[in-house]
């Protein structure tokens, strides 16, 4: 087999610079230390500022750097392991769930990807619960939980007017349903303005998006879209339980 064009392509300049910068972070800087400004860094390494920005963005994506409002670019601490356990056969809000309910409202429009996962018709009401997750006193994730309103008839009426109480009411009502199963996907994304505000990040910062669909009564009932800080979080997954096949009943 011949050599492909990709195999002969030179390493991008920003990628080489990223390696050099990574070594400098290990030997010259400590956690939390502020890096020199872009002009000084570009001059030190003899590169254009555009090349430098690409290298810095890659290091931020890898969790080596953090951009903080009013501070600048700092050396990031090691990522925090955050458990995202697919083996837990529970609803959001069950015992042991460390997410905190913030608010809830009823909406008749949801993002198209969520509507497809919920298999909901246009205009069909959905409960939207906002939750947050904190580790070591720092926000690490924000979540929007979408629940079909017809699966929880009247659950939010008792808490109308109090967004936090309404969120708790929706989560309590979910616990009364039988959970058939759940599926989960993880992808890289960029922080929206609202996510950035909740996570103390800049809009467009890299995030990890975990989307979980919950099925009850043979149909999709809820979808959780959880946005984690990619610079501080290292998602960990437990082993999925394997069910033993059941013997067939004699006829």
Burial 153-179 (b: 16+ CB within 10 A, else e): eebbeebeeeeebbbebbbebbeebeb
Kindly indicate the confidence band of residue 248, based on its pLDDT and cuts at 50, 70 and 90: very low
Mean pLDDT of 138-146: 92
**Could you name the CATH architecture of 80-236?**
3-Layer(aba) Sandwich (3.40)
pLDDT at 70: 76
**Beta-carbon-side half-sphere exposure of residue 140 (alpha carbons within 13 Å):** 19
- Look at residue 9 and tell me whether its pLDDT is greater than 70: no
pLDDT score at 250: 38
Nearest alpha carbon to residue 192 among 212, 175, 216, 209? 209
C-alpha distances (whole Å) from 18 to each of 47, 202, 208 are 12, 21, 21
More confident residue, 12 or 70: 12
**Average pLDDT for 219-229:** 95
Question: Could you say which architecture CATH assigns to the domain 10-75?
Answer: Orthogonal Bundle (1.10)
Of 83, 84, 86, 82, nearest to 214 (Cα)?
86
Domain parsing of the chain, residue ranges = 10-75, 80-236
User: Are 213 and 183 contacting, i.e. CB atoms less than 8 angstroms apart?
Assistant: yes
**Of 138, 137, 155, nearest to 231 (Cα)?**
138
Domains 10-75 and 80-236 share a fold: no
pTM over 0.95: no
What share of the chain in percent tops pLDDT 70?
Answer: 86
Looking at residue 242, what is its pLDDT?
36
118: pLDDT strictly greater than 80: yes
Residue 247 confidence (pLDDT): 39
């Amino acid at each position: 087999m011949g050599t492909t064009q990709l195999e002969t392509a030179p390493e991008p300049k920003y990628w080489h610079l990223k390696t050099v910068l990574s070594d400098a972070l290990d030997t010259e800087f400590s956690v939390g230390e502020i890096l020199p400004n872009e002009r000084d860094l570009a001059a030190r390494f003899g590169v254009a500022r555009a090349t430098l920005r690409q290298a810095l963005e890659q290091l931020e994506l890898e969790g080596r750097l953090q951009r903080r409002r009013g501070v600048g670019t700092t050396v990031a601490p090691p990522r925090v392991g955050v458990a995202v356990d697919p083996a837990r056969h529970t609803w959001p809000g069950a015992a042991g769930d460390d997410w905190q309910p913030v608010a809830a409202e009823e909406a008749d429009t949801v993002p198209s990807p969520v509507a497809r996962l919920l298999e909901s018709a246009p205009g069909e009401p959905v409960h939207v619960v906002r939750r947050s997750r904190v580790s070591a006193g720092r926000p690490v994730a924000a979540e929007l939980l979408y629940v079909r309103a017809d699966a929880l008839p009247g659950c939010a009426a008792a808490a109308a007017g109090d967004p936090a109480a309404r969120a708790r009411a929706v989560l309590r009502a979910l616990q009364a349903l039988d959970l058939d199963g759940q599926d989960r996907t993880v992808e890289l994304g960029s922080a929206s303005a609202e996510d950035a505000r909740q996570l103390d990040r800049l809009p467009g910062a890299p995030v990890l998006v975990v989307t979980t669909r919950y099925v009850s009564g043979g149909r999709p009932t809820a979808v959780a879209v959880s946005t984690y800080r990619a610079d501080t979080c290292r998602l960990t997954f437990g082993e999925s339980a394997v069910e033993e096949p059941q013997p067939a009943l004699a006829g």
